[in-house]
Amino acid sequence: MKKLARSSLALAAGLLAQPTWSAESTDDLFGNAAERVEKAYQSKKWQELPDEALIRASRIKWNRLAKAALDLPEWVEFSLSQRTRFEDVSNNWRAGQRSADNVQLPLQSRVRLGVNQGPFWLMFEGQDSRTNFNESGDFVGRQINQFDILQLFGSATLKNVLDTGLRTDLHVGRLTMELGNARLIGRNNYPNTTNAFDGGHLAIGNDKDWRVRTFLTAPVTIEETRLDQSSDKNLFWGTAFESTQLKWLSGEVYYLGTSDSQDPNANRHRNFSTFGAHGYQKAVKKKSEFKKGEFGRFDYDVESAVQTGERRGKDHFAYMAFANIGYTFNAPWLPQFLSEYVYASGTGDPNGTESNTFDKLYGLRRPDLMQTSLYGPFGQSNLESVGWRLTVKPQDNIKVYFKHHANWLAEAKDLLDGSALPGSSNLQDKSGSSGTWLGHDIELIGEYSFGSNVILSAGYSHWFKGDYFDRLAALPGRGGLPVGGEKDTDYVFAQTELRF
């Protein structure tokens, strides 16, 4: 399969590069392209890209086979990626959904093109997201964003400002960003569409183990069939100090501000600050990282954040906590056992004058909670979740994990966030009589990669729904729950990701 993928790419590159050819020139063209692709596939060399200062490198780091096939110079960035996923969700539970299963085939395609001159970059990234087989009453979520600009920015990287040894990165334009483990700001990986921001980002550090970041942006609103736009009525800003100076403690402390109080819809008003801290010690990724005779090694990840200000016309005070502790054994398949805990506050009295429901801002729910996209019933809002997971790696390019969580509403009277189609209200029992027990969920996920360019993954999740849903179904109008929504839900997916 590896040789087939490289040969196919070389053939496509040859067709693009030379509109007219003879049999002899075709052999030379395809042979040279295939040779360049083979060399790029095996290469460990990597040229840093400008958005690595904004997001984790794994989001964009793979062998640039398309660039090699077209024989593009070093100062040009060019890559293509395409992802196809089959998804099936049983027993729809969201308010406004039809009483059936939800089967779709979301597709995501990206192209990256950039030019570099010295410390300066101009970078474009386009994305096309769409889905197939969806029907009226299906949950589409964030699946569709046709032919749009994901990133378009200019940047400058100065690695020794005024001989101080400090590195400075400046980005201006449309960006994607991440902070820490992406719980409050993230570049979406599993959903079919992606968060973006218009504005500026500045980072200063020693290019080794610490830096200070600050940004001022307007979040981009995703339009399904029109070009995405941002508004100066919705501002998002922040600053963070990140450090990896201590062997046993890496992380960041941060402040984030959001304000959209000029939005004409008062129900969307948010004008609050988020203060947080995150600390972690990385888990072992390969057996070669163990010291001789070492039985195993602990790792951990903890984060907490507090929000204060105004939200939807009410005084807002909310908080979130996340903690896991893991142990990786120095044994075949490199087994890692993790215990996990998530808490995000809810509002005890929805009819009162205070808001205590934590707002996850632009954060990601995967992998802390579950697969998202058409599934993903839980988020970092009005939730308490505790569980464990076991991960094994039979080979460096194979990863399998099993996860089990038990889940509750943090506050019985508050809503279950994200449990409605647009135009409908989230599931909620304001009397609190339905309780808080949401049920158990389990997952079995596997991933197989051919180098960094072809990734195959598949998984199965089962949600044993709690009595909260049985009690909702007994309320007038079933509490907004679709017929059959109280029954257990299965989610299956199979996915291919090609990156060139």
- The arrangement of secondary structure in 69-499, i.e. its CATH architecture, is Beta Barrel (2.40)
pLDDT of residue 30: 59
State whether residue 26 is helix, strand or coil. helix
Name which residue leads in pLDDT, 442 or 23. 442
Does the pLDDT of residue 4 top 50, yes or no? no
Q: Name the pLDDT band for 269 (thresholds 50, 70, 90).
A: confident
Does the pLDDT of residue 452 top 60, yes or no? yes
pTM of the entire predicted model: 0.91
pLDDT of residue 150: 98
pLDDT of residue 363: 96
Rounded Cα–Cα distance for residues 456 and 446 (Å): 8
Delimit the domains of the chain by residue range. Answer: 69-499
DSSP E strand boundaries for 282-418: 296-311, 314-329, 336-344, 354-355, 383-395, 398-408
Q: Name the pLDDT band for 402 (thresholds 50, 70, 90).
A: very high
pLDDT of residue 117: 96
pLDDT of residue 33: 83
Choose among 290, 395, 388: nearest CA to 333: 395
What is the chain's mean pLDDT, rounded?
92
In eight-state DSSP terms, residue 414 is S
pLDDT of residue 27: 56
Task: Tell me the per-residue pLDDT of 486-496, one tens digit each, with 9 for 90 and over.
Answer: 999 999 999 99
Task: Tell me the per-residue pLDDT of 454-468, one tens digit each, with 9 for 90 and over.
Answer: 999 999 999 999 999
pLDDT of residue 164: 87
Work out the burial of residue 58: count CB atoms within 10 Å of its CB; fewer than 13 is exposed, 13-18 middle, 19 or more buried.
exposed
pLDDT of residue 24: 53
pLDDT of residue 232: 79
Strands 354-355 and 314-329: parallel
pLDDT of residue 28: 60
Determine the average pLDDT of the residues in 432-453.
97
Choose among 34, 33, 61, 37: nearest CA to 47: 61
Work out the burial of residue 222: count CB atoms within 10 Å of its CB; fewer than 13 is exposed, 13-18 middle, 19 or more buried.
middle
Residue 27's contacts (CB-CB under 8 Å, 6 or more residues apart) are none
Rounded Cα–Cα distance for residues 59 and 81 (Å): 11
Rounded Cα–Cα distance for residues 49 and 171 (Å): 12
Least reliable range by pLDDT among 15-24, 78-87, 466-475: 15-24
For 472, list phi and psi in degrees, rounded to 5. Answer: -60, -40
pLDDT of residue 315: 96
Does the pLDDT of residue 21 top 80, yes or no? no
Q: Name the pLDDT band for 31 (thresholds 50, 70, 90).
A: low
Task: Tell me the per-residue pLDDT of 46-62, one tens digit each, with 9 for 90 and over.
Answer: 889 999 999 999 999 99
